[in-house]
Amino acid sequence: MLRKVLGMFSMAILGGLIALGIYTSFDFQKPTASSQIKQDVAIQQTQLMASAPMIAPDFVEAANLSVHAVVHIKAEFSRKNYFYDDFFGDFFNPFRIPQQQQALIGTGSGVIISPDGYIVTNNHVVQDARKLEVTLNDKRVYEAKIIGTDPSTDLALIKIEETDLPYLTYGNSDALKVGEWVLAVGNPFNLTSTVTAGIVSAKARNINILNSREGNTIESFIQTDAAVNRGNSGGALVNTRGELVGINAAIASGNGYYTGYSFAIPVNIVRKVVKDLLQYGEVQRAYIGIQIREVDAELAREKGLEKVKGIYVAGVMENGSAEKAGIKPGDVITNVQGVEVNSNAELLEVIGQYSPGDKVTVTVERKGTPITYDIVLTNEKGSTSRIKREEPAFLENLGASFRPVSDDLKKELGIQSGVEVAEIKPGALSSIGIKKGFIITRIDRIRVNSAKDVAEALKGKRGGVLIEGVYPNGVRAYYGLGL
């Protein structure tokens, strides 16, 4: 028995020795100083990340600068603005005055851009209005007059007679980055001075809401998720420094209310339009003289392009700026004046900031090789001249402005003469039913081709005058004007 117990005890001792040998044979090292530091740093970083507060951008100063420079606009119309109803109903809130009166009221917003009362807004807010009333943030009310409009960008410039007004300074929409914080300031639902915040969701958006018979619209919207609703049209989009970077114009909505995205006209286009309206009375649109297609995977495969980027030159106008500079069909435009362009909207936005006669640097890729050209931009007629609208004071009573008719359109309509009614507002012509776009060919059988011709034909007239003409759709019309 004793022998058995001693045997088991010996085996236990042997097993312990074996286990100890195995344990000591492994290299269980203590943590080194460097590894301990790494662990400490990781723990410290984790603790810092967990305890560091989220720093939100400060909108207070930008909001304070903006609300005093954004105004409420009330526009009175004698008839409904059919052209823009389909596209801008989300912003425009017209309602009929009781007792079957014909007046219609629309509301929107505007941005003061100078201390002497110049205000930028959307064209669809004021187009065809017979009366404009502007209410400032401090509740002062003024009657405003229209200085000029540009339907191709949906911008308008109006003015009130006042000085020392708060105003916003221009920022740089080209420098605006996707993800950057912005504020939308306006007067939705007739509420005054409302500020909402969001980020820039995208740039150079073309949402196909502007129409133009000439096909010269520029759609290159800044897309944001700042909440915008009815009445915000013409309001300000500002950055966190309180600089104006866009004019709010539209929302993406299926129900008439904000559902996630809004769109603003870049301020670099606004600056150009305002400058032209003040200096010339109309916008000086510049052209390169090319037909373009946006490069996508399908076009790149079809044309054998090495990269899916840039703007494909599908054709060049004979004797146009591009052809004279050396650009050829098949070239791919990648850069204009130092700005990369990768969509039709981006290209139109850049060119839209220049005037006929301006020189721009254009970089193209031809069979993979970059080539740079200096191009002198022209107007739609192929010249570098800038046209200033000079209408005799007599025409103010007519309530219309005029512009020449191109030879191509005259040929298409089968007319030898004509001057187009570019804008119409309450006055002698609107009272007899003449509408915007009407082309006056003769006045009392005298052919007219300019605003000066219209003034000369009506000069000294008394009694009834016969106005003949045609609308762009080919419908001929005759109007009797009493003088």
Query: At residue 101, does pLDDT exceed 70?
Result: no
Query: At residue 53, does pLDDT exceed 80?
Result: no
Which candidate, 89, 93, 94, places its Cα nearest to that of 78? 94
> Do 289 and 322 meet the contact criterion of CB atoms below 8 Å apart?
yes
154 is catalytic: yes
> How many Å apart are CA 141 and CA 156, to the nearest integer?
20
Q: Pairing relation of β-strands 244-252 and 261-266?
A: antiparallel
Which of the two residues, 208 and 13, has the higher pLDDT score? 208
Q: What is the pLDDT of residue 215?
A: 53
State residue 175 phi and psi, 5-degree precision.
Answer: -85, -5
Query: At residue 140, does pLDDT exceed 50?
Result: yes
DSSP conformation letters of 65-81: HHHTTEEEEEEEESS--
Neighbouring-strand partners of residue 375? 360
Query: At residue 4, does pLDDT exceed 70?
Result: no
150 is catalytic: no
Pick the CATH number of 54-283 from 2.40.10.120, 3.20.20.70, 2.30.40.10, 1.10.3720.10: 2.40.10.120
CATH 2.30.42.10 domain position(s) in the chain? 290-376, 393-482
Query: At residue 205, does pLDDT exceed 60?
Result: yes
Catalytic hit among 124, 173, 343, 430: 124
DSSP conformation letters of 125-144: HHTT-SEEEEE-TTS-EEEE
Sign of CA dihedral 411, 416, 419, 421: negative
Which of 87-101, 237-251, 265-279 has the lowest average pLDDT?
Answer: 87-101
Enter the tokens of residue 14.
């042997």
CATH 2.40.10.120 domain position(s) in the chain? 54-283
Query: At residue 172, does pLDDT exceed 90?
Result: yes
> How many Å apart are CA 351 and CA 218, to the nearest integer?
10
Residue range 364-416, pLDDT digits in tens: 999 889 999 999 999 887 888 887 665 555 566 788 888 888 888 899 999 99
> How many Å apart are CA 99 and CA 418, to the nearest integer?
41
> How many Å apart are CA 299 and CA 46, to the nearest integer?
49
Sign of CA dihedral 42, 43, 45, 46: positive
Local confidence band at 137 (pLDDT 50, 70, 90 cut-offs): very high
Burial of 94: CB neighbours in 10 Å, binned 0-12, 13-18, 19+: middle
User: Which residues have C-beta within 8 Å of that of residue 197, sequence separation ≥ 6?
Assistant: 59, 181, 182, 183, 184, 226
pTM for this predicted structure? 0.69
Residue range 195-204, pLDDT digits in tens: 999 999 999 8
Q: What is the pLDDT of residue 84?
A: 37
Catalytic hit among 90, 128, 154, 276: 154
User: Which residues have C-beta within 8 Å of that of residue 11, sequence separation ≥ 6?
Assistant: none
Catalytic hit among 233, 262, 343, 401: 233
> How many Å apart are CA 265 and CA 267, to the nearest integer?
6
Please, what is the average pLDDT of the chain? 81
Q: What is the pLDDT of residue 110?
A: 95
State residue 426 phi and psi, 5-degree precision.
Answer: -50, 125
393-482 domain in CATH 2.30.42.10? Answer: yes
Which of the two residues, 329 and 58, has the higher pLDDT score? 329
What kind of architecture, by CATH, is found in domain 290-376? Roll (2.30)
Report the percent of the chain where pLDDT is more than 90.
50
